[in-house]
Amino acid sequence: MTAALAVQPTPTPPPSAVPSSRRKPRASRRLPCKLGPYTLFERIGYGGMANVYLARRKTELGGHHLCVIKEVLPELAHDARMAEMLAEEARITSLLRHENVVEVHDLGRDGESLYLAMEYVEGFDLRELLRRAAAAKVPFPVAYSLRIVGDVLRGLDYAHRWKDESGAPLGIVHRDVSPANVLVSFEGGVKLCDFGIARAGAVSGVDTAFQGKAGYMSPEQARGDALTGASDVFAVGIILWELLAGRRLYKAEPGESLREASRRAEIPALPSRGLPEEEELFGIVRRALARDTEERYPTAAAMREDLEAYATKTRMLASPTQFGAWLTHHFGKAVISERRARQRAIEAIERGPVAVITPIGKRARPANGNAAEKNPNHTEAPPTQRVVPRKEAVAEAPESGVRQTKSLDPAEREKRLAKKRRKALKAQGKSVAAMKVAPREASEGGYAGAILLLAAAMVAGLVMLQLTAGG
C-alpha cells in the first residue's frame, strides 16, 4: 500500500485540466440515467474537471442507499493525469476511516466515463451554507463556526498522522482545504472531502502549485514549494478568518491574480465583534495565518487544542446535536422534503413503464411519455377487440356451431329470443360499467386496471355477437 501511495511529480497538465472560475458550467447528463450500478438523479455540483451527482444504488438485500458520484468530464476521462488523480484520491481516502473524513466506496469506468463513488452527506458544503444564510439574512453563530473549524482540524490531524504498515508517517497533505470541500450535515456532523490532489509525502515543484483554490492557498503552495501539514493549517486559518469577518480574505488588486495575493499573504486585522475574550480568538487566527511556517501552528492538532480551550472558556462549545437542530430549522426542511420527493419519482421510474390498452390505430406510450417504439423494452399492449358484424359472423361460423331454431313454433321462438336478449343486455350493462372504471385504474399505474379493461372489452364483444346472432 505504501508503494501505491508514493506518487512521483508529474508534468504540468494541459490547460484544459486546470480549474478556472471563468469556465462555464459543463453540460450535465440527462437525468435520471444509469452509470455503472448507480442511478444518477440530481447534479449537486460541478467544476473544471468533473460533475458531481446524487445517486442511488441497489443493495444486495433489495434496498437502496444514496451516494455521491464524481464523474470526470468527457474530454478529460481518457487523460492519464486525470485517471491518476482520481485513483490517488481513491487510494488515499480508502485508507482514512474517520468521522470527519468522507469515505470513498468505489472507483470505476462505464464505457467512456470515469467516476468515483463516495459517501453521501445530507446537508450542504460550507460555501453553500454561508450563501443561504446570507440570502436569508440568518446570522451565523460564532459557536457553530468554531465547531466546524474544530472538526475540520480533527479530520486533517487524522490524515496528517496516518502511517504505513511499518509505522512510518505517510505525510498526507490535503492541499485543497476550502469551504467547498467542507460538508455539513443536518445531523450536525462535519466532514472533509475531495482528497483528489492530496499527496503522500512533501512533493515539490509546479505540480504542487497548479492545483487547489487560489483564494485558500498558503504562501508556500502559491510559490510551488514543498508542502507539509502546516499548509493545510493555513487554509483552515483563512476559513476561520472569513467566518469571523463575514467576507472573503483575499481580493486581487487590479492586474494581479488571487494566486499573487496568496503569495504575498497580507492579512488584515479582523473587525471587532464584541466577543468574550476576543483578542485570544484573534490571536489563534493570526498564528494560523503566519506567513512564516516557523511561526505558524505546526500541526492541526495544536490549533484545534487552542480553539477548543477558547470555546470551553467562553461557553461557545456547541454540540453536533445543537448545530444540527439549528441547520434543520433554518435550511433543512424544504431541502429534505424536495429530495425525498425526487427519490420517490426515481423509484417510480425504476419500476418501469405501465402497460395500457389503447384504441386501435393509436400507439401505446410508456409512463414517462416517450413513444413506445423508442423504448426497446416496451411491450405493445393487445388491441381492443373488434366487434364482428352479423353477416361476417354468420358467414364465418361453422355449420356445427349454428343453433337450429327453425323447428320451433313462432311464439316459442320469440319467447326464447326475448329471454336471451334480456340476459345479454344485463351482461352488457356490467361490461360497460367495468369499461368506465378500468381506464382510470390503468392510468393510475395498475396492471389490474389494464386487464379489467381488456376483459370488459371481450365481454362486450361477445354480448354483441349474441345480440346480433339472436336478432
Q: Would you place residue 352 in the very low, low, confident or very high pLDDT band (cuts 50, 70, 90)?
A: low
Does 70 belong to an annotated binding site? yes
311 is a domain residue: yes
Whether 141 shows a pLDDT value over 50: the answer reads: yes
Rounded Cα distance, 263 and 221, in Å: 8
Rounded Cα distance, 274 and 187, in Å: 29
What DSSP character marks residue 329? Answer: I
The cell numbers describing 404, all together, are 337450429
Cβ neighbors of 65 (< 8 A, separation 6 or more) are: 56, 57, 59
What is the model's pLDDT at position 26?
58
325 is a domain residue: yes
Mark whether 185 and 296 lie in a shared domain. Answer: yes
What is the model's pLDDT at position 119?
94
CB atoms within 10 A of CB 332: 19
In Å, the largest CA–CA distance within the chain is: 122
- Looking at the DSSP assignment, which residues form a beta bridge with residue 35? 38
Mark whether 207 and 89 lie in a shared domain. Answer: yes
Q: Would you place residue 27 in the very low, low, confident or very high pLDDT band (cuts 50, 70, 90)?
A: low
What is the average pLDDT value for the chain, to the nearest integer? 76
**Which of 305, 321, 341 is where one domain is finished?**
341
Whether 161 shows a pLDDT value over 90: the answer reads: yes
Nearest of 177, 71, 180, 68 to residue 124 by alpha carbon: 180
Amino acid at 197: I
pLDDT 10s digits, 292-325: 999 999 999 999 999 999 999 999 999 999 999 9
Looking at per-residue confidence, does 343 or 264 come out higher?
264
Secondary structure element (H or E) that encloses residue 24, with its range: none
CB atoms within 10 A of CB 429: 11
Looking at per-residue confidence, does 347 or 279 come out higher?
279
Nearest of 242, 270, 229, 113 to residue 182 by alpha carbon: 242
Calculate the alpha carbon distances from 54 to 51, 129, 170, 225, 429 in Å.
10, 18, 32, 36, 52
What DSSP character marks residue 212? Answer: S
Hey, is 114 helix, strand or coil?
strand
Mark whether 319 and 414 lie in a shared domain. Answer: no
What is the model's pLDDT at position 297?
98
357 is a domain residue: no
Q: Which of 176, 194, 207, 232 is catalytic?
A: 176
Rounded Cα distance, 349 and 344, in Å: 9
Rounded Cα distance, 27 and 46, in Å: 10
What's the average model confidence in pLDDT over 431-444?
Answer: 47
pTM over 0.85, yes/no: no
pLDDT 10s digits, 396-427: 444 444 444 445 566 777 777 777 766 665 65
Q: Please state the domain count of the chain.
A: 2
Looking at per-residue confidence, does 344 or 57 come out higher?
57
Helical spans, DSSP H, in 246-385: 258-264, 278-288, 300-313, 320-327, 333-350
pLDDT 10s digits, 206-233: 444 346 688 999 999 999 999 999 999 9
Mark whether 327 and 392 lie in a shared domain. Answer: no
Q: What distance, in Å, lies between the first and last C-alpha atoms of the chain?
A: 89
Apex 391 CA angle, 421 and 424, nearest 5: 15
Calculate the alpha carbon distances from 7 to 84, 106, 202, 237, 272 in Å.
9, 20, 10, 28, 45
Q: At what angle do helices 229-245 and 142-160 cross, to 10 degrees?
A: 170
Nearest of 273, 292, 270 to residue 282 by alpha carbon: 270
Whether 371 shows a pLDDT value over 50: the answer reads: no
Mark whether 190 and 274 lie in a shared domain. Answer: yes
What is the model's pLDDT at position 351?
66
Cβ neighbors of 409 (< 8 A, separation 6 or more) are: none
What is the model's pLDDT at position 94?
81
User: Is 176 in the active site?
Assistant: yes
**Which of 322, 341, 360 is where one domain is finished?**
341
Domain span at residue 174? 2-341
Looking at per-residue confidence, does 206 or 334 come out higher?
334
pLDDT 10s digits, 233-249: 999 999 999 999 999 99
What's the CATH code of the domain at 175?
1.10.510.10
Mark whether 158 and 218 lie in a shared domain. Answer: yes
Cβ neighbors of 263 (< 8 A, separation 6 or more) are: 219, 222, 223
Whether 30 shows a pLDDT value over 90: the answer reads: no
373 is a domain residue: no
What DSSP character marks residue 357? Answer: -
405 is a domain residue: yes
Mark whether 287 and 390 lie in a shared domain. Answer: no
Mark whether 334 and 455 lie in a shared domain. Answer: no
